[in-house]
Amino acid sequence: MTRIPSHDITPESLFWQRRRILGFTLAAPVASVLAACAGPDVASTDASAPTSTVASAGSVTTTTDELSNPLTDYETVTGYNNYYEFSTDKERVKDLSAGFSTTPWNVVVDGMVAKPRTFALEDLLALQASERIYRLRCVEGWSMVVPWTGFPLAALLQLVEPTATAKYVRFETLNDPVRMPGQSEPWYEWPYVEGLRLDEAMHDLTLMATGVYGKALPPQNGAPLRLVVPWKYGFKSIKAVVRITLTDVQPTSLWMAASPGEYGFFANVNPRVDHPRWSQADERRIGELGRRPTLVFNGYKDQVASLYTGMDLRKFY
Ligand code: MTE
């Protein structure tokens, strides 16, 4: 594949103009028109051995994912964001979230665990971090390649010792309409909630990101801590997490509640299952011209397909 930096292909302003013409920009924030994004195979080089060194501030150790896809540039990763707590306009999220304070920050981990605990962010930052280059595939039909830094969710869950009854993990974003003005909008059931099956949560690809491009995570990308599940649509990758609860009940996510006919619990990237209002067969990699085929499990099939043996992935979207 020819690797051409996005700025060599289309000037940024023309690119965004074109996207608007193509109709990707979200309209009114109502459930009937929502187009949540969520996000998918391997770490920096190999999913089964995904950790490399932590990138030094502002740098990355690798410039492509394991499929030789070039990284999406930093300005786009941090300038084109889905974060409804701040805005439904992707290009305004950065500015509107700029003053969002993340200190102090605590994360409660509770429910069906032997050792429930409230972690200060500093405790979590002490967990061993690594760099992971993951494709992010939004359910809206666009994608990026992002170099995250963070720690495996499994490392955190092991500290609280899930009990034998725990089957699911429920995640919750901060609920603070003063700091997150979008939460005053009545369209959604705040706070943003997401969930994983416990085995998905324990999978080595499942990351709690604290940084991007070797820098601390900026507010617009979910500072100070966000989930990244690379084989699922981007909407599963919940931002600004404050609570993680182990449970035996399948969590209902914000998107499932908002539009149950369109968004399911599993939300695995699947080019053969269309969204009710558009095809999922291909995607627009931001920075490229044209569209490229969407990969089953976003290209992470070898690593995660075994989690779903025997399941009808059309039915269990
Ligand atoms: N988390 C919260 N709390 N609120 C959101 O609106 N949007 C989701 C996900 N996590 C969202 C969220 C969607 S739809 C996508 S595609 C990704 O975040 C986008 O992540 P990014 O802005 O870092 O690319």
What digits encode the pLDDT tens for the residues 22-73? 222 222 333 333 445 433 222 232 333 333 434 444 678 789 999 999 999 9
Taking 80 as the threshold, does the pLDDT of residue 207 lie above it? yes
How many angstroms from the chain centroid is the CA of residue 7? 24
82: closest CA among 211, 173, 176? 173
Average pLDDT, the chain: 85
pLDDT at 8 over 90: no
Nearest atom, ligand 1, residue 221 CA: 23
In a domain, residue 314? The reply is no
Tell me what pLDDT residue 244 has: 99
- Let me know if residue 27 belongs to a domain: yes
Contact (CB, 8 A) for 137 and 143: yes
- Mean pLDDT calculated for residue range 155-181: 98
Question: How far apart (Å, rounded) are the C-alpha atoms in residues 111 and 246?
Answer: 5
- Is residue 195 one of the residues assigned to a domain? yes
Whether 225 is in the pocket of ligand 1, judged by its Cβ within 6 Å, is no
Q: Helical H runs in the chain?
A: 6-9, 12-22, 74-77, 93-96, 121-125, 153-160, 198-202, 254-258, 301-304
Global confidence as pTM: 0.85
Whether 221 lines ligand 1, by a CB cut-off of 6 Å, is yes
Q: Which residue, by CA, sits nearest to atom 5 of ligand 1?
A: 83
Taking the centre of ligand 1 as the mean of its atom positions, its distance from the CA of residue 164, in whole angstroms, is: 31
**Residue 261 covered by a domain:** yes
pLDDT given for residue 15 in this prediction: 29
Domain with 31 in it? 6-308
Give pLDDT tens digits for 188-197: 999 999 999 9
- Tell me, yes or no, whether 248 lies in a domain: yes
In a domain, 1, yes or no: no
Tell me, in angstroms, the distance from the centre of ligand 1 to residue 138's CA.
9
CB-ligand 1 contact for 82 (6 Å cutoff): yes
CA of 101 relative to ligand 1 center, distance in Å:
18
**In this structure, what CATH number is given to the domain that contains residue 29?**
3.90.420.10
- Specify the number of domains making up the chain: 1
Burial of 82 (0-12, 13-18, 19+ CB in 10 A): buried
How confident is the model over 208-225, as pLDDT tens digits?
999 999 999 999 999 999
Per residue in 60-85, pLDDT (tens digit) is: 878 999 999 999 999 999 999 999 99
The rounded percent of the chain whose pLDDT value lies above 70 is 81
Query: For ligand 1, atom 19, which residue shows the shortest CA distance?
Result: 82
Q: Ligand 1 within 6 A of 83 CB? A: yes
Q: Is 300 part of a structural domain of the chain? A: yes
Cβ proximity of 216 and 224 under 8 Å: yes
Would residue 132 count as lying in a domain?
A: yes
